[in-house]
Amino acid sequence: MAALTEIEKWLAETVPGAIERYDVPGVAWAVLAGGEVVDGAAGVLSRSTVVEATADSVFQIGSITKLWTATLVMQLVDEGKVDLDVPIRTYLPEFRIADEDAAARITTRQLLSHTAGFEGDIFTDTGRGDDCVEKYLRELHGVTQLFPPGEQFSYNNAGYCVLGRLVEVLRNSPYDVCLRDHLITPLGLTHTAPGPYEAILFRAAVGHIETEPGAGYQPAPVWALVRSNAPAGSSLAMRPRDLLTFAQLHLNDGKAADGTQVLAPGTAGRMHDRQVDLPDLGLMGTSWGLGFERFETPDGLVIGHDGGTIGQSAFLRIVPGTGVAVALLTNGGDAVSLYRDVVGHVLEQLGHVRLPALPEPPAAPERVDAGRYVGTYEADVMEMTVSQDEDGRIWLVQKPKGVFAELGEQAERKELVPYGENSLIPVEADRGMHLPHVFLGDDGHGHALYLHVGRAVRRAGA
């Protein structure tokens, strides 16, 4: 395929300079078009060891793992073992959160589409044993319900750990074994590692983090997040080519390369269909399916997912109906700008789809009364305080908590300016992006109830 050959050449010539420009230590990529795959890599897997990245190097895919967990769940739906619209307690009677009424009503569909409504960033370490996900469910008993189940979207890592436990119970096997038996093996994957003990058999990327702005990206102190969060994306690693083999499953109506029907006909399409719309959040999609992030552009639909672990960022984009998909895996630096340059070019050339422009602050922002927004919003891993000074300037102070504080992340202070209705945006970009901060709901006193940044972070005390 001539166009794919041109893309292969363009990537080899362009990416090395781009990673230097964006301070990305290492990157690997793969592109699928016309049933053929090209791949490559540049940079190093660790700035400590200076081992070169190759196309067969494994990087953590982070939350792209959620697509794998969702696929495992939908296999159970295909087999008649799960009904998406009955309470999850039908299958997991031990599931409990602080709100008993919500716990009794939350469904598998709501967990898959991030509309279950409870606090989602819970990274409790429950050990490295095969019972870690089972133990994790007990850690959710005191978790707060943010809004009624099904009311809105709020990205929920914990919900995918619950789904992982659902798979374990109905398959009577640990999550990693379910991955191996029901996806990795049927798809014929050779460079996919559910955890560090398998990843060490390959060239494995190490994440790089910047402990404070301008300090430069250095190898992270640990390789992966806790194993209890494996179904949400804490440890699954692979080479880009293997990730695109998974993408082909979803492009080919659930069929593996050898003809094996891994998902029933029609199931993949149902996973891609819209379930819930999102606020305008920039890099995140416009809506969500059953696991899949959806980007509805003027040129057509793109689906996929992003992933972020400790210093590693991953991007998967699929253009339904075209046979085009691209995977980009990185281990630090300004990964978003690299994604925009690389994935944006590939999608435009092969899929004839342009990525929407990222949000930017207005050149001459107006002054507004931020009284509705001012206050503190608190989640398990962060606290965000919005204030307005005497000159009318709006400020956000974000303090890390929990696992993020333990990793050495520092508090940040940034100026926000108005951006659309009920939305503020940072003046300065963070790793190539200005993330809109959307204020939703009402606390009963004329103040926003939630600060939405992908997660609906609830006003403290409300």
Q: Tell me how far apart the alpha carbons of residues 370 and 18 are, in angstroms, rounded to a whole number.
A: 39
**CA-closest candidate to residue 161, choices 197, 183, 135:** 135
Cβ atoms of 314 and 64 within 8 Å: the answer is yes
How many Cβ atoms sit within 10 Å of the Cβ of residue 42?
A: 22
Return the half-sphere exposure (C-beta side, CA atoms, 13 A cut-off) of residue 109: 15
What CA–CA distance (Å, rounded) separates 440 from 279?
A: 9
Phi, psi (rounded to 5 degrees) for 18: -65, -40
Backbone angles phi, psi at 336, to 5 degrees: -65, -45
Residues 228 and 375: their CA atoms lie apart, in Å, by 33
The rounded distance, in Å, linking the Cα atoms of 38 and 363 is 41
Q: Which residues contact 62 (CB under 8 A, 6 or more apart)?
A: 233, 306, 307, 308, 309, 312, 313, 314
Distant-in-sequence, close-in-space partners of 268: CB < 8 Å, separation ≥ 6? 249, 250, 253, 254
Distance, CA of 203 to CA of 44 (rounded, Å): 10
| Separation CA 271–CA 294 (nearest Å) | 10
> Which amino acid, one-letter code, is at 393?
R
Active site residues: 63
| C-beta neighbour count of 233 within 10 angstroms | 27
d(CA 255, CA 269): 12
Cβ-Cβ contacts under 8 Å for 167 (sequence gap 6 or more): 69, 72, 73, 76, 175, 178, 231
Distance separating the N- and C-terminal Cα atoms of the chain: 58
Can you tell me the distance from the alpha carbon of 169 to that of 108, in angstroms, rounded to the nearest whole number?
14
Contacts of 56 (CB under 8 A, 6+ apart): 191, 202, 203, 239, 241
Q: In whole angstroms, what is the distance from residue 44 CA to residue 385 CA?
A: 38
For every residue of 99-113, which 3-state class applies, written as one string?
Answer: CHHHHHHCEHHHHHC
